[in-house]
C-alpha cells in the first residue's frame, strides 16, 4: 500500500510554494500543482517521492541528472529537496500544460504526420541523452511518460529508472521497465544501451498507429496498424522491435533520418491528401494576404513583432487588418489588451474580438468554436491582411499555417543558450522542404547579424527593429517591413503583392 502524502492542498511548502491541487499519482509518490509566491503568476509541478531504502541513491542520481540536463524535450528542474528524517524527497519542476500520450490516444486518434513529428522529437531527446557522458539510458518509454503540450511539444518525463551506461559492466543491476514497452534485454542478464530506448520508441509508435490497440502484450503484426500507415513506416517499426539489439537502429540519429524520408515519401505519394500543406490563394473569393510569425524558441519576442507588423500594415496599407493570437488562453495577448483598454473588456467578451487602433484582434479558441475549427477561409474573405502570431510551437497544424502564409517570418536568436533550440526549428522547416521564409532576430545590429553565430544558421538573417511600444509606428519601422516584403517577393512566391510594397 502506498504511504499517504505529506503535502496537503492549500498548505505552504518551503515557505514559497502554495499547493494548489493533486495532478498525478505514481508508484513511488505524488505530483502536485503549486503556485510560486515569489514569482507571481508562476506555477510549478512538485513531485513528492517516497523512496524505499535501496533506491535512495538512485533518487539522488535522478535529481542530479535532471538539474544538469537542458533540452526543450525534457522537463526543466528548478529545485530539489533530498530525503532527510521523513524519508521524503521533493523535486520542483516545470509544470507541463498538456496531457500524456496515453490520455490523448484515449480521447482522440493521432494523425500519421503528428505521430512521425512526435517520434522525431523523441529522437532529439534521446540523441541528447545518449550523447551525455556517460550516456543516459532512459529505459521506460511508454505512453504515460510522454507529455504533449498544448503547443505541440513533446516532453519526456519520469526518469525514475533511467541509468548511466557503463562500459565496464555486462548487465543492469535492477531489471525494470514497463511490460509491453520494455526491450527484451531489460529482463535478461545484459546491460541496456541506446538501442534499448529505440525499442521503446518502436513500441510507442506501434501503440499510437494502432490507435492504442497494440500494447505489447502479444506479438506485433503489421495488420494491427491503421490503413493510412505506409509500408515504409511498417518497416521502421519492425526494425525497431527486433528482439536482437544488433538488428535495430543503432542510434537515434539514424532513426530520425529514416523518419524524415518516410514522411516525404508518404507526402509525395499522396499529393491530394488533405494532410499536405497548400498555400492560401488570393483571388475573387479570398482577397486576404496572410503574414505568419513563428518563434524558434520561447520568449524571443514573436508577439511583439506580430503586433508591430499588424500596426505597420494598418498605417501603410489600405484595407482591413486582422491579428490572430495562437497562444494558450491563459496567456492571450487579446485578453490582456481587452482589460488594458478602457471599455473594451465587455466588448471583447460579447463580440469575441477586440478592435484597437484599426486592427481587429482575435484568439484562435474563439474562432475555432465559431467556425468549427477552420476559420482562416472566412477571414480571408473579410480581411485584406491577416497577421498570425503563432509563437513558439511544434504543432504540425501550426507549422502548416506558417508554411501556407504568403509571408513567413521565423523569429530567431543568436544567443548561445538558444542555439540548439533554434537549430531544431530550422531543421524542422528544412526537413519539410520549406524554404520560403525569412529569419529575423529582434534588436540585432549589423555586427551581430554578420557574426559567426549568425552565419552558423546557414541563411540570411534580418533584424526586427528595437521599439518599446509596437503600437507607435514611425517611418523607420515602415521601411523595415517594406524591405522584408520585397526580400520575400524575390523568392518568387505565388502571391499578388500590392503596389505599395515595391514602390
pLDDT digits 0-9 by tens, 258-290: 887 787 666 555 543 434 455 555 444 445 789
Residue with C-alpha cell 510569425? 293
- HSE of 144 in the Cβ direction (CA atoms, 13 Å)? 9
Residue with C-alpha cell 511544434? 394
Residue with the larger pLDDT of the pair 189 and 224? 224
Q: Which residues are annotated as a binding site?
A: 47
The pLDDT, as a whole number, for residue 198 is: 96
pLDDT digits 0-9 by tens, 345-354: 545 555 677 8
The pLDDT, as a whole number, for residue 266 is: 63
Please give the sequence-ordered ranges of beta strands (E in DSSP) within 37-122, or none if there are none: 43-49, 77-81, 89-94, 98-100
CA neighbor of 311 nearest in space, from 498, 465, 470, 485? 470
Q: What is the 3-state secondary structure (H, E, C) of 280-296?
A: CCCCCCCCCEEEEEEEC
Average pLDDT over residues 464-483: 80
The pLDDT, as a whole number, for residue 87 is: 76
List the grid coordinates of 320. 482591413
Residue with the larger pLDDT of the pair 84 and 470? 470
CA neighbor of 279 nearest in space, from 380, 195, 201, 204? 380
- HSE of 131 in the Cβ direction (CA atoms, 13 Å)? 11
The pLDDT, as a whole number, for residue 285 is: 42
The pLDDT, as a whole number, for residue 72 is: 82
Specify the CATH number for 289-501; select among 3.40.50.300, 3.10.20.30, 2.130.10.10, 3.30.870.10. Answer: 3.40.50.300
The pLDDT, as a whole number, for residue 55 is: 62
The pLDDT, as a whole number, for residue 498 is: 40
**Cα→Cα distances 390→16, 93, 95, 487, Å:** 33, 26, 21, 21
Domain boundaries, the chain: 12-94, 98-269, 289-501
Q: Which residues make beta-bridge pairs with 294?
A: 391, 410
Q: Which residues are annotated as a binding site for ATP?
A: 47
Rg of the chain taking only CA atoms, in angstroms: 25
Residue with the larger pLDDT of the pair 329 and 302? 302
The pLDDT, as a whole number, for residue 127 is: 92
Asked whether the whole model's pTM tops 0.85, one would answer no
CA distance 62 to 54: 14
pLDDT digits 0-9 by tens, 61-119: 767 777 788 888 888 888 888 887 667 889 899 898 889 999 999 999 998 988 998 99
The pLDDT, as a whole number, for residue 130 is: 93
CA distance 389 to 301: 10
pLDDT digits 0-9 by tens, 152-177: 789 998 775 556 644 544 444 444 54
Q: Which residues make beta-bridge pairs with 197?
A: none
Mean pLDDT of all residues belonging to the chain: 79
The pLDDT, as a whole number, for residue 449 is: 67
Average pLDDT over residues 377-381: 80
The answer to whether residue 51 scores a pLDDT higher than 70 is: no
CATH topology of domain 98-269: Transferase(Phosphotransferase); domain 1 (1.10.510)
**Domain 12-94: CATH class, spelled out:** alpha beta
The answer to whether residue 251 scores a pLDDT higher than 80 is: yes
Helix (H), strand (E) at residue 421: helix 419-431
% of the chain at pLDDT higher than 70: 76
Whether the Cβ atoms of residue 441 and residue 463 lie closer than 8 Å to each other: yes
- Cβ-Cβ contacts under 8 Å for 241 (sequence gap 6 or more): 199, 202, 203, 206, 220
The pLDDT, as a whole number, for residue 32 is: 96
The answer to whether residue 236 scores a pLDDT higher than 90 is: yes
Amino acid at each position: 500500500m502506498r504511504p499517504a502524502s505529506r503535502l496537503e492542498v492549500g498548505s505552504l511548502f518551503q515557505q514559497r510554494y502554495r499547493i494548489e491541487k493533486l495532478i498525478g499519482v505514481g508508484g513511488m509518490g505524488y505530483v502536485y500543482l503549486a503556485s510560486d509566491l515569489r514569482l507571481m503568476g508562476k506555477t510549478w509541478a512538485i513531485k513528492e517521492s517516497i523512496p524505499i531504502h535501496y533506491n535512495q541513491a538512485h533518487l539522488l542520481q535522478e535529481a542530479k541528472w535532471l538539474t544538469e540536463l537542458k533540452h526543450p524535450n525534457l522537463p526543466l528542474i528548478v529545485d530539489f529537496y533530498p530525503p532527510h528524517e521523513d524519508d521524503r524527497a521533493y523535486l520542483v519542476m516545470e509544470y507541463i500544460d498538456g496531457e500524456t500520450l496515453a490520455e490523448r490516444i484515449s480521447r482522440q486518434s493521432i494523425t500519421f504526420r503528428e505521430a512521425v513529428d512526435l517520434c522525431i522529437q523523441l529522437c532529439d531527446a534521446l540523441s541528447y541523452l545518449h550523447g551525455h557522458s556517460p550516456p543516459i539510458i532512459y529505459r521506460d518509454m511508454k505512453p504515460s511518460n510522454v507529455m504533449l503540450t498544448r503547443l505541440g511539444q513533446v516532453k519526456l518525463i519520469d526518469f525514475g529508472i533511467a541509468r548511466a551506461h557503463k562500459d565496464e559492466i555486462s548487465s543492469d543491476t535492477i531489471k525494470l521497465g514497463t511490460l509491453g514497452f520494455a526491450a527484451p534485454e531489460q529482463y535478461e542478464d545484459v546491460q541496456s544501451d541506446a538501442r534499448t530506448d529505440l525499442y521503446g520508441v518502436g513500441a510507442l509508435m506501434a501503440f499510437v498507429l494502432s490507435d492504442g490497440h497494440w500494447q505489447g502484450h502479444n506479438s506485433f503484426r503489421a495488420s494491427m496498424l491503421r490503413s493510412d500507415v505506409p509500408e515504409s513506416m511498417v518497416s521502421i517499426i519492425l526494425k525497431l522491435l527486433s528482439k536482437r539489439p544488433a538488428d535495430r537502429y543503432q542510434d537515434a540519429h539514424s532513426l530520425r533520418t529514416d523518419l524524415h524520408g518516410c514522411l516525404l515519401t508518404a507526402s509525395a505519394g499522396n499529393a491530394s491528401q488533405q494532410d499536405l500543406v497548400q498555400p492560401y490563394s488570393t483571388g475573387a473569393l479570398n482577397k486576404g494576404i496572410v503574414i505568419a510569425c513563428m518563434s524558434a524558441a520561447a520568449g524571443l519576442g514573436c508577439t511583439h513583432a506580430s503586433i508591430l507588423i499588424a500596426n505597420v500594415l494598418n498605417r501603410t496599407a489600405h484595407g482591413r487588418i486582422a491579428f490572430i493570437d495562437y497562444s494558450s488562453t491563459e496567456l492571450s495577448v487579446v485578453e490582456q489588451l481587452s482589460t488594458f483598454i478602457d471599455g473594451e473588456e465587455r466588448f471583447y467578451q460579447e463580440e469575441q474580438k477586440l478592435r484597437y487602433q484599426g486592427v481587429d484582434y482575435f484568439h484562435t479558441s474563439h474562432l475555432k468554436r465559431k467556425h468549427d475549427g477552420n476559420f482562416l477561409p472566412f477571414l480571408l474573405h473579410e480581411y485584406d491582411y491577416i497577421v498570425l502570431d503563432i509563437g513558439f510551437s511544434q504543432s504540425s497544424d501550426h507549422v502548416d499555417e506558417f508554411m501556407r502564409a504568403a509571408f513567413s517570418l521565423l523569429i530567431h536568436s543568436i544567443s548561445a543558450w538558444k542555439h540548439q533550440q533554434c537549430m531544431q526549428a530550422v531543421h524542422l522547416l528544412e526537413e519539410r522542404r520549406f524554404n520560403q521564409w525569412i529569419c529575423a532576430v529582434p534588436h540585432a545590429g549589423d555586427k551581430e547579424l554578420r557574426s559567426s553565430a549568425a552565419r552558423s544558421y546557414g541563411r540570411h538573417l534580418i533584424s526586427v527593429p528595437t521599439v518599446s511600444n509596437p503600437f507607435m509606428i514611425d517611418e523607420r519601422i515602415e521601411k523595415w517591413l517594406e524591405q522584408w516584403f520585397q526580400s520575400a517577393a524575390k523568392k518568387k512566391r505565388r502571391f499578388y503583392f500590392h503596389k505599395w510594397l515595391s514602390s
